[in-house]
C-alpha cells in the first residue's frame, strides 16, 4: 500500500471510529479546510519578514496536517486522486504562466 492510501485509510478509520462521517459533508469539509488554514496563517500573524521562516516547526506541522487531512477527506469523498488533480493544475498553470513571461514575477496571469 502506498503512503497516500495508508494515510487516507488511517483518516477514515479515525473518523469512523468516532462516528464523525455524519459531519463530513462537502460543505463542512471545505469550511474545516478554511478554518484550519486560518489557524495556519495565525502562526505568521504579526511576524516581521525576518521572523516568518523561524515559525514554531511543531505548530506548523500540526496546522498543516489539519489542512491536509480535511483536504484529503474531501478529495476522497469525491473520488479524486490528489496527485492527479495537482498534476492537472500544474499543467493548467504552466499554460497561464509561461516561463518566458512569468519567471521572477508574482504578477497574475491576466496581467502578464
Q: How far apart are CA 18 and CA 22, in angstroms?
A: 10
Check whether residue 72 and residue 91 sit in a common domain.
no
Question: How many domains does the chain divide into?
Answer: 2
Check whether residue 52 and residue 102 sit in a common domain.
no
pTM for the whole thing? Answer: 0.89
Structure confidence at residue 107 as a pLDDT band (50, 70, 90):
confident
pLDDT tens readout for residues 53-104: 999 999 999 999 999 999 999 999 999 999 999 999 999 999 999 999 899 9
CATH number, position 74: 1.10.287.1080
Check whether residue 25 and residue 67 sit in a common domain.
yes
Which three-class secondary structure state does DSSP give residue 28? Answer: helix
Tell me what percent of the residues of the chain surpass a pLDDT of 70. Answer: 99
Check whether residue 22 and residue 65 sit in a common domain.
yes
Check whether residue 62 and residue 97 sit in a common domain.
no
Check whether residue 61 and residue 91 sit in a common domain.
no
Check whether residue 101 and residue 46 sit in a common domain.
no
Amino acid at each position: 500500500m502506498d503512503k497516500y492510501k495508508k494515510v487516507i485509510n488511517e483518516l477514515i478509520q479515525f473518523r469512523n471510529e468516532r462516528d464523525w462521517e455524519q459531519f463530513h459533508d462537502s460543505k463542512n469539509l471545505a469550511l474545516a479546510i478554511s478554518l484550519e488554514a486560518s489557524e495556519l496563517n495565525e502562526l505568521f500573524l504579526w511576524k516581521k519578514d525576518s521572523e516568518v521562516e523561524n515559525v514554531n516547526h511543531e505548530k506548523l506541522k500540526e496546522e498543516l496536517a489539519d489542512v491536509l487531512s480535511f483536504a484529503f477527506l474531501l478529495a476522497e469523498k469525491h473520488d479524486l486522486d490528489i496527485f492527479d488533480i495537482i498534476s492537472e493544475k500544474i499543467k493548467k498553470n504552466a499554460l497561464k504562466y509561461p516561463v518566458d513571461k512569468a519567471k521572477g514575477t508574482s504578477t497574475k496571469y491576466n496581467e502578464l
